[in-house]
Amino acid sequence: MKNFILVEAPASRREPFLLIHLSPGIADTNREVEQFSRFTRWMSETKGYSYHTLKSYADRAALFLNFVFEASKTKHAIDINHDLSQILHSYQDYLLFGKDAGDDLAKTLADTLDRNSTISRETLSQNDENAVKWFLEVCASHPDKDYVDPIFSKLLSKAPEFRTKAEISAINRNSWLAGTIRNSLQASIPSRKTEKIFAYAARRAARNGNNPYKTIAYPIEKAGDLLTLEKRKRSSFKVL
């Protein structure tokens, strides 16, 4: 990843994995992503997953954060209007199509982050869906109501509405931003169990079912052979 590195936590920590910020200018004491540590601790203690399952979900949540942080550096961050659903939509295209994505932000970040691989709709609607949903739930339930997440605040504080509050005291501004982040996170989390964050991928995956057989295109280089095949002779038997 460009902006973070995922590491195993020391044995003395309750969290199985930590996410460390790589960007320059950040104090060493602030490089650990607190919300991510809370997320992996919650998975370990609440879900009781195995090491490999925890690592898989941690990888997917870290990939999402890497996308969000990189998005905060672009002009698109000014246009999201505190609505993370737009970021989630772009992230869906980013995972499914990479550099071939039709979404502008997804395509831009696929080039910036040099994403050459893609994933299936089934993987996105299950593994990535759970990782991102649970991470957002953990972030939205932070015990300190005035806590300002450093990653999401970098994205949301560029919106015009926040910039007009520049004359407000730092305490009130931070409190406002904390509430904005919390509300945006909660609005992005499906209210029903049947609803999905990545609804498009889930619908397409359900439509395709679990059929393992796929239609394979006939090789174009062999198309000429079809023209030279001997015509099949009609049977000489007659039906009585």
- Residues contacting 209, CB < 8 A, separation 6+: none
Measuring CA to CA, which residue among 195, 130, 187, 125 is closest to residue 156? Answer: 187
Place of tokens 């990189």: 70
**pLDDT given at position 85:** 80
**pLDDT given at position 229:** 63
**pLDDT given at position 169:** 47
**pLDDT given at position 151:** 73
pLDDT tens for the 240 residues of the chain, in order: 899 999 999 999 999 999 999 988 888 888 999 989 999 999 999 988 899 999 999 999 999 999 988 888 887 766 665 567 888 889 999 999 999 999 999 999 999 999 989 999 889 988 999 999 999 888 888 777 766 667 777 666 555 554 444 444 443 445 545 555 666 666 677 766 667 777 767 676 666 654 444 455 556 666 666 666 666 665 555 555
What's 100's DSSP letter? G
**pLDDT given at position 25:** 80
Domain boundaries, the chain: 4-227
Measuring CA to CA, which residue among 17, 162, 132, 146 is closest to residue 68? Answer: 132
**pLDDT given at position 86:** 83
User: DSSP string spanning 213-240?
Assistant: ----PPPGGGHHHHHTSPPPPPP-----
> Do the beta carbons of residue 48 and residue 24 sit within 8 Å?
no
**pLDDT given at position 195:** 73
